[in-house]
Structure 1
């Protein structure tokens, strides 16, 4: 005598497919949840140089992520005037974020203002040699000269 066919039980949800409405509960349906970790910044933390900060993605070694070492090895930036301006701007942003929570750190505040001064001077020098960095740096006297040749990289502006 044959056994009657029983319907197969539904298969467990696959972690490779998106969850539909009413299907399962996390983490079984869509995957494991993340475990974020954000270290607290201490007062007067050690800082990377501006160039190291730009390459690592943070000015503060205490906030550096372990997997960044692999990325750093692949993202060596040439030491050009334009990269130096990028590094200054990045360090200014990082220090500004730090100062939001550590406003009494006088050393960081002094460094913040010195980087702003260096960036302003560097930007002016770069623009005198190679032209405007941003469309908003154009002057009414020059007209709209943003697209005129040669471009900075054609004159060695990235050297």
Structure 2
């Protein structure tokens, strides 16, 4: 059984894939309401999963770094690395 970290990371990655593909479709079909709704659904799912991952395991990318007194992006294993 996968741990929660792996599950959350996979959820983010799946949503990322879906969002990129849907974005490409919407670039050529901007008035497709069903596709836009699909994009919004997975965008929200990605936000939720990324927020949960970041709160529990640290930032997924440099934009998620909170800051502080030092650059803490390098403190934890990279999101794609196993612990």
Name the TM-score class by shorter chain: 0.7 to 0.9
Aligned length: 75
Using the size of structure 1 for normalisation, the TM-score is: 0.43
2:14 aligns with 87
User: Could you tell me how far apart the structure 1 residues matched to 2:12 and 2:69 are?
Assistant: 23
Structure 1 gaps, min length 5:
1-78, 155-159
Q: Which residue of 2 aligns with 1:145?
A: 72
- Post-superposition offset of 1:92: 0.5
> 4+ residue runs of structure 1 moved beyond 3 angstroms?
none
User: Whole-Å Cα distance in 1 between the matches of residues 31 and 69 of structure 2?
Assistant: 43
> Which of 1 and 2 has higher RCO (CA within 8 Å, sep 6+)?
2
Partner of residue 35, structure 1: none
**1:39-96 deviation per Cα after TM superposition (whole angstroms, max 9, x unaligned):** xxxxxxxxxxxxxxxxxxxxxxxxxxxxxxxxxxxxxxxx721111111011001111
- Name the residue aligned to 1:102: 29
TM normalised by structure 2 equals: 0.77
Give the structure with the higher percent helix.
2
User: CA RMSD of the aligned region, Å?
Assistant: 1.8
Structure 2: stretches of 5+ with no match in the other structure: 1-5
